[in-house]
Chains A and B, each alone.
Chain A
Amino acid sequence: MAEKLELQEVEVWDGNMAFAQAMRQAQIDVVAAYPITPSTPTVHGYAKFLADGYIDGEFVLVESEHAAMSGCVGAAAAGGRVATATSSQGFALMIEVLYQASGMRLPIVLGLVNRALASPLNVNGDHSDMYLGRDAGWIMIDAFNAQEAYDLMLMGFKIAENMGVRLPVMVNQDGFITSHTAQNVKPLQDEVAYNFIGEYKEVNAMLDFCKPVTYGAQTEEDWHFEFKAKQHKALMDSSKVIKDVFQEFETLTKRAYKSVESYMMDDAEVAIVALGSTVESAVQAAKDLRESEGIKAGVVATRVIRPFPFEEVQSALKGVKAIATLDRSAPGGTLGMLYNEVSASMYQSEHRPVISNYIYGLGGRDMTQKELKEIFSDTKKNADAGKLVTPLQQFSGLRGPKLSFFN
């Protein structure tokens, strides 16, 4: 039986400690993990809790991230609560097994501390790893600060293990900017946190020998399509459960979460759509511009990335004249993911604002207030003209000559 840890009303934690504490409180049965910067302190924190008797579970120290997710799949299929954490190259290495986890409908929770992908090698935060995983069939949620990393990690278990969902959940936070920056975090006490998540409920457990199960069967053109369609439906249907869990958490903590977060959008004419820690920076820039220049600026953030909240994006951006979508991942020969998703959402609405795309912050390059204000100011030009007068895709914060595409 694990010891309880008395927590202060307000703790000073970085994002990694927030992950580790939430994982401790979830009383995970098996964690299989392999260290990689910047998620290492999540794993260290968990190991220390285990060493001090605050966790009663197995901690499998595997030899690679591929094995970490493989061990998680084996453990979850056996029938219990399972989680791990990783970043960047480690995430890339486990990609094969991410698809297996979602295909087998295993409610594994992965803390992904976002970091750039090589080459060139880079340990800092961008969203390349998050974007790499977006077709893997996982529920993907994004935390913008340490408090949210803690809250969403707790909620991640409850969403994944919901009997109507049974899908793996990935909780993202920005490498270093969030993961290594100490902030005030209001935690729940151990019992409250655990009771919120609830007891693990078995489904098709391999350790239930009354009913032997075959996991990972083969299907060809006769059945594969039906399996994948059902999996997609389960992922799409999970949006209701996600909202319910957000609501239940708000009732418990007074901390509100939405699939799409909106800031100062009531009367906004221009909006930035972003992810991660940039959201808070963009909110600051919008506030300043409202005061100094009277620009009606607002910010929209997709808290839930998969299943993509199309309708919520439409309603959050209803009424704006121009939108800048900010992608922190090298787009690989096309427009950024947020541009494509937001454009698709808005194309289906009666209201069609002008939408542009900014690639920024690759490899942990700071996103400054100056750049955010420039983006708002560009977007205002598009709003005033009622059409695109700036390049469709620009690189923001890049040294040297300006780069733009799809002009």
Chain B
Amino acid sequence: MSKIIKNLKQFSTSNDRFEGAHLLCPGCAHSIIVRELLNCTDDNLVIANATGCLEVCTAVYPHTSWDASWIHIGFENAATAASGAEAMYKTLKRKGRLKDPDKPVKFVAFGGDGATYDIGFQFLSGAVERGHDFTYICLDNEVYANTGGQRSSSTPRGSSTTTTPAGRVSYGNKKFKKDMVAIMAAHGAPYVAQVAPNKWKDMVKKYQKALATEGPVYINAMSACTTEWKFPSQDTIDVSDLGTDSLVFPLYEIENGHKLTITYRPRNIVPVRDYLGVQGRFKHLFKKENQHIIDEMQKAVDLKWELLQRREEAGI
């Protein structure tokens, strides 16, 4: 059941199931994305967490930040851990062995883009194809942040990372970001969405829809990384605003693999270069010889936005 927080007082006294005490960097967007998920429901939660920043910062023995059932196995298999737990829940419910059989249980998996786009891609695909009733949330910071800022297949073209550094003869990462939302929609998942923590009302609404959906759900959450995107830690929300308002991270949802709805239309669309300009990872793109990459990115963003609008209009 969705938990409705009506006012600030209620918000301040609401029991946090994701504790504030954790080791994430100041300014890390992960905690906002995660806390809102745990706060948006009163249902019991089983959470599977892939290896990554969130995991190493929230469960260092003898401490835990999780006031919910939580499991971490490896880098690649959070979706499968959730699958196994969900299968056990179904069996025990059928056999009448649950302690509180009437209270709903939701299964949620968190993974970074390394865990989701790359090493755990097959595991996520398998779990969604099998139709487990769970919500997978990718904390997409477009880099292997936990291991020292190496590129992932979510890293945008032109980004400087520790394995694709910008240099005398290189503008950084040469590959294009993988379109994970489209790939998950193509699995036929009943609900797929992209969210951003700066648009938290939109994010929470999608979370509640996700948890209410029967079957597998994929949510791609933009998670601005102060350390690897290289911006001051107090600017997380401002950078995120530029991400959504430049349409580099458009917010939309896809139901049943086809019905696309745009959930946020910026009043003033800002140029992509404004978004790039506040991040150290794109600094080198502003050199004369690399300007074409910025132009290319703007074109790609425009094209994607056009595509999303046309798909929404078509309603199929």
**A contact residues vs B (CB 8 Å cutoff):** 29-30, 32, 56-58, 60-64, 66-67, 70-80, 82, 96-97, 100, 206-210, 212-220, 223
Contacts and interface: CB of A to CB of B under 8 A. Distances in A.
Given A30-B91, A223-B61, A72 B84 contact: yes
A58 B103 CA distance: 21
Contacts of B84: 30, 32, 60, 70-78, 82
Nearest to A220: B60
A71 B80 contact: yes
Given A63-B125, A212-B67, A217-B64, A97 B82 contact: no
B200 to A, nearest CB: 25
A136 to B, nearest CB: 14
B56 interface: yes
A215 B126 contact: no
Given A29-B88, A80-B92, A216 B73 contact: yes
Q: Which secondary structure dominates chain B's binding surface?
A: mixed
A215 B123 contact: no
Contacts of B100: 209
Contact of A75 (B56, B87, B97): B87
A96 B80 CA distance: 14
Contact of A213 (B70, B74, B87, B125): B70
A219 B69 CA distance: 19
Contacts of B103: 209
Given A74-B71, A75-B85, A207-B92, 12 more contacts: A32-B83, A62-B80, A62-B126, A71-B83, A74-B80, A75-B84, A78-B84, A78-B89, A207-B46, A207-B85, A214-B70, A219-B60
B69 A213 contact: yes
B94 interface: yes
B88 A63 contact: no
Interface in B105-163: 105, 122-123, 125-126, 129-130
20 contacts: A30-B87, A56-B95, A60-B83, A60-B130, A62-B126, A66-B76, A70-B81, A70-B84, A71-B87, A73-B84, A74-B82, A75-B84, A76-B84, A77-B85, A209-B100, A212-B70, A217-B60, A220-B60, A223-B61, A223-B62
A209 B44 contact: yes
B301 interface: no
Contact of B69 (A56, A73, A212): A212
Nearest to A209: B44
A216 B72 contact: yes
Contact of A67 (B70, B72, B77, B92): B77
B123 A58 contact: no
Contacts of A79: 88, 92
